[in-house]
Amino acid sequence: MSEKQQKASAYWKENLGYLFILLAIWFAVSYGAAIIFKDALNTIQIGGFKLGFWFAQQGSIYVFVILIFVYVRLMNKLDKKYGYDE
Amino acid sequence: MNDVQIWTYALVAITFGLYIGIAIWSRAGSTKEFYVAGGGVSPLANAMATAADWMSAASFISMAGIIAFAGYDGSVYLMGWTGGYVLLALLLAPYLRKFGKFTVPDFIGDRYYSNTARMVAVFCALLVSFTYVAGQMRGVGVVFSRFLEVDINTGVIIGMVIVLFYAVLGGMKGITYTQVAQYCVLIFAFMVPAIFISIQMTGNPIPQLGMGSTVNDGSGVYLLEKLNGLSTELGFAEYTSGSKSLVDVFAITLALMVGTAGLPHVIVRFFTVKRVKDARKSAGLALLLIAILYTTAPAVAVFARTNMIETVSDKEYSSMPEWFKNWEGTGLLAFDDKNQDGKIQYVADKAKNELTVDRDIMVLANPEIANLPAWVIALVAAGGLAAALSTAAGLLLVISSSVSHDLVKKIFVPNISEKGELWAARGAATVAVVIAGYFGINPPGFVAAVVALAFGLAAASFFPAIVLGIFYKKMNKEGAIAGMVVGILLMLFYMLKFKFGIFDGGKAAVEGLKASWWFGISPEGFGTIAMLVNFAVSLVVNRFTKAPPENVQQIVEDIRIPSGAGEASSH
Measure the CA–CA gap between B78 and B190, rounded to whole angstroms. 16
For residues B203 and B197, what is the distance between their CA atoms, to the nearest angstrom?
9
Q: Give the containing element (helix H, strand E) for B356.
A: strand B355-357
Chain centroid to Cα B400, Å, comes to: 19
Judging by DSSP bridges, how do beta strands B333-335 and B355-357 pair with one another? antiparallel
Chain B residues inside the 8 Å CB shell of A26: 83, 86
Of the candidates B298, B372, B365, which has an alpha carbon nearest to the alpha carbon of residue B143?
Answer: B365
CB contact under 8 A, A42 and B246: no
Q: DSSP E strands: which ranges in B109-168?
A: none
Query: Are B80 and B253 a contacting pair, CB within 8 Å?
Result: yes
Distances in Å between the Cα of B369 and the Cα atoms of B221, B304, B308, B377, B560 are 22, 8, 7, 10, 53
Phi, psi of B355 (to 5 degrees): -125, 125
Give the best residue of B88, B223, B240, B278 to mutate against chain A (max A CB count within 10 A). Answer: B240
3-state secondary structure of B214: strand
Task: Tell if the CB–CB gap between B287 and A79 is shorter than 8 Å.
Answer: no
> Burial, B342: exposed, middle or buried (Cβ in 10 Å; 0-12, 13-18, 19+)?
exposed
For residue A68, what are the contacts with CB-CB under 8 A and spacing of at least 6? B85, B86, B89, B90, B280, B283, B284, B287
What does the DSSP assignment read for A20-69?
A: HHHHHHHHIIIIIIIIITHHHHTTSEETTEEHHHHIIIIIHHHHHHHHHH
B405-435 as b/e, with b when 16 or more CB fall inside 10 Å? bbbbbbeeeeebeeeebbebbbebbeebbee
* Alpha carbon distance B230, B238 (integer Å): 9
Nearest to B127, CA basis, from B414, B462, B409, B537:
B462
Q: What are A49's strand-pairing partners?
A: A46
How far apart are the C-alpha atoms of B266 and B260, rounded to whole Å? 8
For residue B83, which residues of chain A lie inside 8 Å, CB to CB? 26, 30, 60, 64
Q: Residues 1..30 of A with a Cβ closer than 8 Å to B: which? A: 8, 11-12, 15, 19, 22-23, 26, 30
Query: Can you give the pLDDT of all 571 residues of chain B as single tens digits?
Result: 578 888 888 998 899 888 888 888 877 667 777 776 666 678 888 899 889 988 887 788 888 888 998 899 999 999 999 999 999 999 999 999 898 777 888 899 999 999 999 999 988 888 888 877 777 777 777 777 766 677 778 878 888 888 787 777 777 788 888 889 999 999 999 999 999 999 999 999 999 999 999 988 878 889 999 999 999 888 888 888 888 889 999 999 999 999 988 888 888 888 878 888 888 999 999 999 999 999 999 999 999 999 889 888 888 888 888 888 878 877 778 888 888 888 888 888 888 889 888 877 888 888 888 888 888 888 888 888 888 888 888 888 888 888 888 888 888 888 888 788 888 888 888 888 888 888 777 766 555 566 767 888 899 999 999 999 999 999 999 999 999 999 999 998 998 888 878 888 777 777 788 888 999 898 889 999 999 999 999 999 999 999 999 999 999 999 999 887 665 554 4
What Cα–Cα distance (Å) separates residue A28 from each residue in A59, A60, B106, B413? 12, 9, 34, 49
| Residue B444 vs residues B438, B439, B491: alpha-carbon distances, Å | 10, 7, 19
pLDDT in tens, A33-57: 999 999 999 999 988 899 999 999 9
In a 3-state reduction of DSSP, which class is residue B284?
Answer: helix
Find the residue in A nearest to B91 (Cα): A19
What is the distance in angstroms between the Cα of A58 and the nearest Cα belonging to chain B? Answer: 6
| Helix B361-369 with B152-202: angle, nearest 10 deg | 50
Chain B: give the shortest CA distance to residue A85, in Å. 6
Phi, then psi, of B321 in degrees rounded to 5: -70, 175
A24: chain B residues, CB-CB within 8 Å? none
Residue B409 to residue B415: CA distance in whole angstroms: 7
Q: Cβ contacts (< 8 Å) between B214 and chain A: which residues?
A: 48
Q: Which chain B residues have a beta carbon less than 8 Å from that of A49? A: 211-212, 224
| Displacement of CA B196 from its chain's centroid (Å) | 26
Mean pLDDT, rounded, for A78-82 = 93
Nearest CB partner across the interface for B90, out of A22, A36, A62: A22
Name the strand (E) or helix (H) holding B7.
helix B3-25
- Phi first, then psi, for residue B273 (nearest 5°) are -95, 170
Q: Which residues pair with B355 in a beta bridge?
A: B335
User: Does A69 lie at the interface with B, CB-CB under 8 angstroms?
Assistant: yes
% helix, strand, coil for chain B, step of 5: 75, 0, 25
Q: What is the nearest CA distance from A56 to chain B, expressed in angstroms?
A: 6
B36, B272 Cβ separation under 8 angstroms: yes
Q: What is the model's pTM?
A: 0.91
What ipTM is given for this predicted complex? 0.96
Q: Are B452 and B62 in contact (CB under 8 A)?
A: no
Q: Are B214 and B204 in contact (CB under 8 A)?
A: no
What residues in B contact A79, CB-CB < 8 Å?
A: 277, 562-563
Q: Chain A closest CA to B409's CA: distance in Å?
A: 33
The residues that bridge with B192 in the sheet, in sequence order, are none
Pick from A34, A48, A62: which is nearest to B222 by CB?
A48
Distance CA B357, CA B334 (A): 7
Give the whole-angstrom CA distance, residue B31 versus residue B28.
8
